[in-house]
Structure 1
Amino acid sequence: MDSNVHFITLATDDLESVRDFYVRGLGWTAHLDVPDEIVFFQVAPGLLLAFFDSRKFGEDTGRAAVSVSGLTLAHNVDSPDAVVETVTRMRAAGGSVVKEPQAGAFGGVFHALVEDPNGVLWEIAHNPSWSIGDDGTVSLG
C-alpha cells in the first residue's frame, strides 16, 4: 500500500456553521456539497477535507461520532504578516483564536492557533526554514 491519504473526514454536529465558516468566511470553494449531509473541500493535490453530519457519520460508520483531540491541521504562509492576516480573517469568519500570533517555542516558527466552529484546531504558521514547492512537496529545512 502506498502512503497517500486522499480524504480526511471529520464528523460535525453543526454542518451549516462549518460550511459558513469555510465557504462564506474564508472564501473556500466546496468541491462537493450535499446539503444536510457532507461538504468536501479540495485542500491539496489529491487531498479532500470533508465535514460529515455527525448523525450521518454514525449511520455510515456504525459508530457514534466522537470529538477529536490532540490534532491540529496546519496552514503555512509566507510571512509573519500573513499569519496575522489569516488569523484576522478566520476570527471574522467565526473562528475562536486560541493562541494569538506570536513566536513559537519550537523550531523558529511564528504562529497562531484558531479553532473553527466544529472545534478543529488550525495552526497558522510561518517557518522560514520550511517551504512548499509548486508540486506540493514539503521541505522541512
Structure 2
Amino acid sequence: MNALGQQAHFITLSTPDLEAARDFYVVGLGWEPLLDVPGEIIFFQIAPGTVLGFFDALKFGQDLGHEPATQGAHGASGMTLAHNVGTRGEVAGVVRTMQAAGGRVVTSPREGAFGGIFHAHVADPNGVIWEVAHNPGWSIDDDGGVNLS
C-alpha cells in the first residue's frame, strides 16, 4: 500500500446551523454521536474507521484560516452522501423517516437515469443531500471490500 493508503477516515462538512444538524441526525434519525462539542462540531461513526462530522461554519472557516466574511463560500456543494438499502421498498421508508426528521425531499423514489438503481434524494436541514438507493450491483464482502457490478 502506498503512503496515501486510499483511505478517508473523516468526512467533515461545514454547516451553517449545527443545532439543526444535531436535531436532524440525533433526534430525528436516532444516530448516536461519537463526539459532540456544542457550538463547534458533532461526529458520527458511519463505518469501520470512518467518521462523518458536521462543523459549525464559522469555526470551520477559522480552522481553514478564512475570515468570517469569506468562509461561507467554502461549504459543501456539488456532492451527495449515499445510503444504500437492500430493497426498492426500503428507499421510500428511509425517505419518509428523513422527511419526518426535518429533511426536504429533493427527488421522490424513482428509477435512476444511470446505473440501474432505484433511488431518491433528501436534503438535511443544512442542505446536505443524501441519496437513498437500492443498487443491486453494490455489495460489501465479509472483509469490507465494496463490489460494484
Q: Judge same fold: TM > 0.5, yes or no.
A: yes
Structure 1 pair 138/97, CA: closer, same or farther in 2 (3 Å)? same
Asked whether the 8 Å contact 1:44–1:136 carries over to 2, the reply is: no
TM-score normalised by length of structure 1: 0.95
Name segments (4+ residues, structure 1) moved above 6 Å. none
Q: Cα RMSD over matched residues?
A: 1.1
Which residue of structure 2 aligns with residue 55 of structure 1? 58
Q: Which aligned pairs between 1:8-27 and structure 2 lie closer than 5 A?
A: 8-27=11-30
Kindly report which structure 2 residues correspond to 1:79-118, keeping only aligned pairs within 5 A, or say none.
Answer: 79-118=87-126
State yes or no: 1:137 paired with 2:140.
no
Higher-Rg structure is 2
- Aligned length in residues: 141
What does residue 7 of structure 2 align with? 4
Q: Percent identity?
A: 60
Q: How far 1:79 moved relative to its partner?
A: 0.3
Counterpart Cα distance in 2 of 1:136 and 1:43: 13
CA–CA separation in structure 2 for the residues paired with 1:35 and 1:138: 35
AA matched with 1:128: P
Q: Is the CA contact 1:76–1:124 (under 8 Å) kept in the aligned structure 2?
A: yes
Q: Secondary structure at the match of 1:105?
A: coil
Residues 46-73 of structure 1: per-residue CA shift (max 9 Å, x gap): 1100001111111111021423221011
The answer for unaligned runs of 5 or more in structure 1 is none
Mark the CA change 1:119 to 1:82 in structure 2 (over 3 Å): closer, same or farther: same
Give the aligned residue type for 2:33. Answer: A
Instruction: State the one-letter code of the partner of 2:44.
Output: F
Once the two structures are superposed, residues 63-89 of structure 1 have per-residue CA deviations (whole angstroms, 9 ceiling, x without a partner) of: 214232210111100001110100000
Q: TM-score, normalised by structure 2?
A: 0.90
Distance 1:72 1:138 in 2: 18
1:82–1:135 distance in 2 versus 1, CA, 3 Å: farther
